[in-house]
Amino acid sequence: MPSLIDIRRRIRAVKSTQQITKAMKMVAASKLRRSQERIFNARPYAREMQRVLSGLAARVDPSAHPLLDRRESLVSAAGSRTLVIVVSADKGLCGSFNTNIIKAASGLIVSSEGRPIVLGLVGRKGRDFFRRRGLEIAYEQVGLFQALKYADAQQIARAAIDEFISMRVNRVQLVYNEFKSAIQQRVTIEDLLPVPRTAVTDAGSGSRIDYLYEPAPQEIFNRLLPRYVETQVYRALLESNAAFFAAQMTAMDTATKNATEMISQLTLYMNKVRQAAITREIIEVVSGAGAL
């Protein structure tokens, strides 16, 4: 049976941990509010841009721009390569946030059916995990979530575009945690390149709608398509950042409640031990007095 000193020392340690988890919960909640505002402001623009360009890509010849090139024969070939951009967190203490991302990316690699996978790793946790597995890594970036900027998304998008245009990869996918609510995050796998195509038809005639371009289509594509890739990457980073703070807040709230419960159990156990010690001392006194 542990002594009272050991139990009191353990209670003090749990209380110290509880103070830390409570402070981390408050910090995560504060950062979550700012992250929510950023993602709610970015979502409408990113989704509308995706809708417009997906419909536009369905109406033009895929050879009009390299980022529209489907390369369907190459994608189905065994020798084609896919760039998978995995967005994880730089820190832990966020429940299953990083575990779910790593599991989804690992499942994607396993189900690639012999097609080579090259990774673009964003976040220290994913970088540390996949680096130990000996997988091919095209690029990695850590520490950007401390002060997330649009320039960070531009750098990642530029690297993905260079890999795709240079024919080193034939497909680019994003794996990240989408922010749904403070208690729910969903792992999402999206096709980034080539630009997804959405068939759009006229509801009345069933014929495809066509556009008149001003200026030339090539100039429009040169401006809009790289901006589209940057916007989608930036949205994924904002989603992941907000989801991380939500997961951390939930995890720290659960840890604080567990610490409170543990303190109650240890306090009850300490009182039992102390009462047993007092009872034993009384018995010894009474027994000694009876012997005299």
Q: Taking a C-beta distance cutoff of 8 angstroms, is the pair 119, 137 a contact?
A: yes
pLDDT attached to residue 216 = 72
- Helix, strand, coil percentages (3-state) for the chain, rounded to 5, are 65, 15, 25
Verify that 193 and 231 share a domain, yes or no.
Answer: yes
| CATH code, domain carrying 165 | 3.40.1380.10
Residue 222 lies inside a defined structural domain of this protein = yes
Tens-place pLDDT, residues 118-171? 999 999 999 999 999 888 899 999 989 988 999 999 999 999 999 999 888 999
Beta 117-122 vs 82-87: how paired, if at all? parallel
Verify that 258 and 246 share a domain, yes or no.
Answer: no
Domain of residue 277, residue span:
4-18+253-291
b (16+ CB within 10 A) / e for 132-162: eeebeebbbbbebbeebeeebbbbbbebbbe
Radius of gyration of the chain (CA): 28
In this prediction the pTM is 0.85
Alpha-carbon torsion (185, 141, 48, 83), positive or negative: negative
Q: How many domains does the chain have?
A: 2
Verify that 257 and 241 share a domain, yes or no.
Answer: no
Residue 134 lies inside a defined structural domain of this protein = yes
Residue 24 lies inside a defined structural domain of this protein = no
The upper half-sphere exposure of residue 4, i.e. CA atoms within 13 Å in the direction of its Cβ, equals: 9
Q: Which helix (H) or strand (E) holds 176?
A: strand 171-181
**In angstroms, rounded to a whole number, what is the distance separating the alpha carbons of residues 192 and 161?**
10
pLDDT attached to residue 291 = 76
pLDDT attached to residue 211 = 67
* Three-state DSSP state, 78: coil
- By CB neighbour count within 10 A (0-12 exposed, 13-18 middle, 19+ buried), where does 190 fall? middle
Alpha-carbon torsion (275, 279, 284, 288), positive or negative: positive
Residue 23 lies inside a defined structural domain of this protein = no
Residue 174 lies inside a defined structural domain of this protein = yes
Verify that 89 and 204 share a domain, yes or no.
Answer: yes
> Which residues of the chain are under the pLDDT cut of 50?
73, 75-78, 200-207
pLDDT attached to residue 210 = 66
Active site residues: 94
**In angstroms, rounded to a whole number, what is the distance separating the alpha carbons of residues 213 and 207?**
19
Residue 158 lies inside a defined structural domain of this protein = yes
Verify that 78 and 125 share a domain, yes or no.
Answer: yes
Residue 182 lies inside a defined structural domain of this protein = yes
**In angstroms, rounded to a whole number, what is the distance separating the alpha carbons of residues 38 and 40?**
6
Beta 184-193 vs 171-181: how paired, if at all? antiparallel
74-80, long-range: CB within 8 Å, 24+ apart, which pairs?
A: 74/170, 75/170, 75/171, 77/115, 78/114, 78/115, 79/115, 79/116, 80/115, 80/116, 80/170, 80/171
pLDDT attached to residue 208 = 56
Verify that 8 and 105 share a domain, yes or no.
Answer: no
Residue 12 lies inside a defined structural domain of this protein = yes
Cis bond upstream, residue 44 (ω within 30): no
Which pair of tokens denotes residue 169?
């990869």
b (16+ CB within 10 A) / e for 236-265: bbbbbbbbbbbbbbbbbbebbeebeebbee
**In angstroms, rounded to a whole number, what is the distance separating the alpha carbons of residues 69 and 216?**
19
